[in-house]
Chain A
């Protein structure tokens, strides 16, 4: 014991000695500047500009759809994805035979059941809103955003935010290479990312860092190519947290906004940690309301390469939905079910009220939140096996493989989510 104490004592005195020798470096920022700029130079070639044309205007957030627009239907993509594959737009539809043309349906008579009263719209003359105390929704403009090159044969990774307006034309401007017409590929709505394909070859490809190798507190530079004419824009920050949104994203404190959504978040070596996307932890708003607040998300890429392959085939990936309501009173072990909506996967698998889920794919469930964590990190279409305990029975039984469904798309129009205080600008001060 005495020896150990001595070691501790030595360590404690050694630390300040080292610090004194190092002293204060007056030029620490100048040194950092060089590091930052070399990272920028390395990352600049693969950050691209995304320009969109046409589409419909939407408001995201408080007064608009919370999750952004609903995801599109899966697209038909040719399954073959080799390098020589030629991409063409879908062939034009065959001319309609007038005899086979569908007849217009007879007009429906008004239903005798009285329609429910429409929900009152949010009061625009709300005095709080007038004072700027309540942040309104985010009106997305038809502007440029950023993206990064994923493969050298022309797959571009960008933020779903860029496609929110459902544009009719997407152009990708690769620096020093040229401007290309892009075709939409698949999307992952749970991660806020989308793929498009351009007809180009030998593009510069970034190096992706696996999230396991990322440390909280390390530098994270958010690059974008929305404004700058001669190079990417940069915002500095650090990695604030890992495994956000059920292991899908890093949280960073670099400013993220429509000016760099879709752009790369890189480390000091110019390697990609993720791409900046608007997300919100609860999934209840679009995440854009938090722009420039110091809360930003970067979807990690290195760990989802198999998913990107699915997206290349045009698949729309969404958060998984088992379809159970959980008891908040039951503190574990296991998660107790208080209800199963009849169109959910759980109801179809025979789960019912009062059951307690003890295991998910062999992992012991501690409590409700743990169970939510285990399921929410999956995607619709994934398969899981549960071990369930029936009410008033000690017996455990195992369900067969349950295919999880896509989470139902909730276009909620109101929510009580707290926004960071810095977001609501007093009217007039900023000229808004």
Chain B
């Protein structure tokens, strides 16, 4: 007879491998003075349009680049490249999210020189990306006015994983009877104190407010530890 089963304690984080790579990336960004900003949202919320506009506005003064994740096609990379910034597509095949190792792989051997800002556009998905740290300094969750004000209540986990909520397509607010106070209330309920920025990448409204926020965040972040 075989002995009774026994319990052994393990206590290991399942995503440890991802977290280790993410930490290394964060360290690398800090040392190189890069501010890494990632974007998550459902498909069709306007991530690519918003990012194209952001890259175009930042490029005259800053060195910027972008990584963009999709299951298939290089369409988004082509669109973003119109901004003139270096862009690299990460195609995930059937994977519904980006992982830290994909960012690392995409950056290795990509000669973009020194950067001030690196943007990472995640695969359009409001569920899976919340589990994966990509080493970013700032995670934006985008939500367009056409999606419904209760989305934060339906997908609280992604809002909790993000730092800033960016409300897009504000130029359509009136046409879709967007209920602004209801959305503010719902975001505040799932993530008290969350910064909310409202804008339209198409009309340009609110874009300056976003750039101001980025600059402020950049100036306040801790610099690489100096040697004593």
Q: Do A and B come from one complex?
A: no
- Which residues does B use to contact A, with CB under 8 Å? none
- Which residues does A use to contact B, with CB under 8 Å? none
